[in-house]
Structure 1
Amino acid sequence: MTQSSNVTWHEQSITKQERRERNGHHSLVIWFTGLSGSGKSTIANELARRLYENGVQVYVLDGDNVRHGLNGDLGFSDDDRRENIRRIGEVAKLFTDAGSVVITAFISPFKEDRSQVRTLLGADEFVEVFADCSLEQCEARDPKGLYKKARKGEIKGFTGIDSPYEEPDQPEVRLDSSAKNPAECAEDVLRYLQEKNYIRL
């Protein structure tokens, strides 16, 4: 990525802290990662609903949805996957600056890419949530029929089949999404957010 030399950062008249005070809560990125079929999107939306119903300004950035627009020009090569996550990281940072809680649900298979997003944000602005579900169980669920296509060779570079997934070493929250239902997983994340005083429900 190249950056134009003819741009200058313009400071805004409303600060992030002012927006947080208006909203009545901390702003941050809750970054769900995990294999396809691990429950990321379902849990993310369950969490968003719980937060919204308690007055939190929240928005979900979902992998499939974002590829319908912002990242519609990207494929699934390693380079395109990295660019996909880079763009989402920048968008998520904007939501954080706006005083909102943004929840992302992306496979985001590479540790380095997730780490780079973390560096964009403050120390208390990035919560990595690992939807820990075995490949076998994700493949058994196969809600979109993607594993079946990957096994047939109809999809190349599919994470978990012929492209790697690098599990987080120390996620802030590890969810056993193979044993717990989405509501229970969302509750685990809520508990963490409250323990950190990021939100008060």
Structure 2
Amino acid sequence: MQNNSNNIHPVFHRILQRKDKEALLQQKSIVIWFTGLSGSGKTTIAIGLERELNKKRILTQILDGDNVRTGINNNLGFSEEDRTENIRRIAEVSKLFLNAGIVTINCFVSPTVEIREKAKQIIGEEDFLEIFVNTPFEVCEQRDVKGLYKKARAGEIKNFTGLDAPFEAPTNPFLDLKTEGKTVDETIDEVVAKILPILSV
């Protein structure tokens, strides 16, 4: 395929900038990146966070793994290459929301340090808040809200994160959110308390 990069002329410098959108919305935009095992509670906590921020008139957008897989990334599988491309696209979409002044809440297993680092590089380290939803594998498997652990144990799903594919926990996340022994509301309150001070213009 012919490279037509010489015919591409970005106009980013001519359009309204992020600070203009933040001033309009009276909020600071940021990308919150929930990572953790399947069933750890990422989406549940994200939905609760979004509702709490909405009460405080903060505009948000959730990007959830399953939702994205049915839309913009519906042509991707679960090979290592496709998982990497999945996260790359999500990071680029997140950056668009970031530049629009919106608080973007991402819920993705994103199992390796490398894949999360790539997302951070695209979004920008200063705008990337990594939250590790730290729920033990045994608890996630017991919940098995999507029936994925049962299928993985039966051999119907290969390379299942935490079982026969590794999950590399963040070493220095913005928040290490331990969920065991806590209610959903308690974990949401913990995230809100940590996030809210950052969002003031």
Q: What does 1:148-167 correspond to in 2, within 5 Å?
A: 148-167=150-169
**The residue matched to 2:199 in structure 1 has which SS?**
coil
User: Given the alignment, which residue of 64, 69, 72 partners 1:62?
Assistant: 64
Q: What does 1:65-76 correspond to in 2, within 5 Å?
A: 65-76=67-78
Aligned-pair distance for 1:181? 2.1
Number of aligned pairs?
198
Q: Distance in 2 between matches of 1:121 and 1:37?
A: 26
Amino acid at match of 1:106: F
Question: Residue 25 of structure 1 corresponds to which residue in structure 2?
Answer: 27
- Contact kept in structure 1, 2:91 and 2:123, CA below 8 Å: no
User: Given the alignment, which residue of 76, 95, 98 partners 2:97?
Assistant: 95
- Contact kept in structure 2, 1:38 and 1:178, CA below 8 Å: no
Aligned-pair distance for 1:123? 3.9
Q: What TM-score, normalized by structure 1, do the two folds share? A: 0.93
Amino acid at match of 1:141: R
- Contact kept in structure 1, 2:34 and 2:133, CA below 8 Å: yes
4+ runs deviating over 3 angstroms: none
CA deviations 1:101-147 (Å, max 9, x no partner) are 00000101111111111122344311000000111110011001100
Question: Residue 104 of structure 1 corresponds to which residue in structure 2?
Answer: 106
**The residue matched to 1:124 in structure 2 has which SS?**
helix
Question: Residue 53 of structure 2 corresponds to which residue in structure 1?
Answer: 51
- Contact kept in structure 1, 2:92 and 2:123, CA below 8 Å: no
Provide the aligned C-alpha RMSD in A: 1.6
- Contact kept in structure 2, 1:31 and 1:128, CA below 8 Å: yes
Question: Residue 187 of structure 2 corresponds to which residue in structure 1?
Answer: 185
Question: Residue 199 of structure 2 corresponds to which residue in structure 1?
Answer: 198
- Contact kept in structure 2, 1:57 and 1:100, CA below 8 Å: yes
Q: What TM-score, normalized by structure 2, do the two folds share? A: 0.93
Amino acid at match of 1:52: N
- Contact kept in structure 2, 1:37 and 1:138, CA below 8 Å: yes
Gaps of 5+ in 1: none
**The residue matched to 2:22 in structure 1 has which SS?**
helix
Question: Residue 10 of structure 1 corresponds to which residue in structure 2?
Answer: 11
